[in-house]
Each structure stands twice: as C-alpha cells, then as structure tokens.
C-alpha cells in the first residue's frame, strides 16, 4: 500500500478534508510548465439533456483519466490518484460555476427559497483498479432579497464554486436546512472517500 495519494484537484477545501482524515497527499495539477495544456472547460461541458447525476460522475471519470495520463506522462512515483467533482442541481438543471456577477446573481435568485441537490462524485484509481462513489445532499436556502444576493456576490465568494456559493463561507448564514453530507457539499464527502481508501487497505 502506498504511503500517500495524489489529489488531482486545485480545491483547497478538498485538500483540507483529506488532512482531516490524516491522509498524506500530494497535488497532481494540470497545466504546469513544460507539460501538455489540458482543457478543463471541455471536460466540464454539459452534454445535451444530460442528467445531473450522470454528468457529475462522467466528469469525475474524465478528470481521473486526465490525471492518470498526467501521472504517467510526468514519470512520477506510482500512487493512488483521487479526483472529485461537485455540481449543484435545481431539479434537472445543472448550475455550474458562474462566469460573472450577473450569472452568479441569476443562479442565487433561482436557489432563493428553494431546496436543491448538491452532488459530489469521487473516483480513486490504483493501477488498473478504479473505485467510485457518489454523495447526494439537499440544501435549502432562505428567501433572499436582491440586496442580500448582491452583497454576497460582491464578496467574491460565489466565483469558482458550483451553484455560486460556498457552504463553508458567508452563504452559511442564508442556508436554512441541510440533509446529507456537509463535507460532500464542501467538495469531498469524507465518509465515501474513507470507504474507497479502506478498500485499498488504508486504516481509516
């Protein structure tokens, strides 16, 4: 069993959650100097009529494919590779990362006073073995005024986050109810991740 894993994610929250499990990890990030340029936007593009659960699991698999190729290409020491993807779904509508303030405001207006799903898929590859898990949680926002939404967007927190919010930040003051995995909503479900690592022999 390896003494560490590679985390193929730029999210500091995922790194923090692995630290919570006392899992030693090293980042395996795309687009480093001298390497092949990877198109993250193409990987995260939604297919026509794609359901949120299918989408998040497909994208996570593609991220893992890219990370495994990255590991091989760079000739790094072999170790398990972990990837994850989080999406927010209001019904069958996928709410990704907002491109600008107007898009963030529009997303938050849709979520205001509603219950939505947060889906986080996790995939772990060890040699030819690939393990996957899916965490599904429900989040209800209070009815937010335009002024509250504008102030939140002005904080800068919505950018780079699916659904235009971060549960661990200022948005917590507007969330009425959560059902499911708090860590999954943050971006890496600790329970499911620990289960996958246990299958590889990790003592967690």
Residue 65 annotated to the active site = no
Q: Which of 130, 163, 118, 136 is nearest to 63 (CA)?
A: 130
Strand-pairing partners, residue 46, are none
Residues in the chain: 204
Judge whether 86 and 10 are in contact, CB under 8 Å: no
Cβ neighbours, 10 Å, residue 36:
12
Distance CA 138, CA 54 (A): 17
Catalytic residue among 35, 39, 65, 85: 85
Specify the residue for token string 């019904």: 91
Cβ neighbours, 10 Å, residue 6:
24
Distance CA 136, CA 52 (A): 11
Which residues are known to be catalytic?
85
């Amino acid at each position: 069993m390896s003494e560490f894993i590679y985390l193929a994610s730029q999210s500091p929250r995922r790194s923090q959650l692995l630290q919570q499990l006392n899992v030693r990890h090293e980042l395996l990030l795309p687009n480093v100097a001298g390497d092949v340029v990877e198109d993250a936007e193409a990987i995260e593009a939604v297919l026509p009529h794609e359901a949120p659960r299918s989408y998040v699991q497909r994208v996570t698999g593609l991220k893992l494919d890219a990370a495994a190729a990255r590991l091989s290409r760079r000739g790094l020491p072999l170790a398990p590779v972990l990837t994850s993807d989080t999406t927010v779904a209001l019904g069958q509508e996928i709410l990704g990362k907002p491109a600008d303030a107007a898009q963030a405001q529009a997303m938050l207006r849709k979520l205001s006073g509603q219950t939505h799903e947060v889906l986080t898929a996790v995939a772990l590859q060890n040699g030819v073995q690939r393990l996957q898990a899916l965490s599904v949680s429900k989040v209800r926002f209070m009815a937010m005024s335009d002024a509250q939404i504008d102030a939140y967007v002005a904080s800068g927190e919505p950018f780079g986050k699916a659904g235009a919010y971060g549960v661990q930040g200022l948005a917590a003051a507007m969330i009425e109810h959560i059902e499911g995995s708090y860590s999954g909503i943050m971006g890496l479900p600790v329970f499911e991740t620990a289960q996958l690592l246990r299958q590889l022999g990790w003592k967690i």
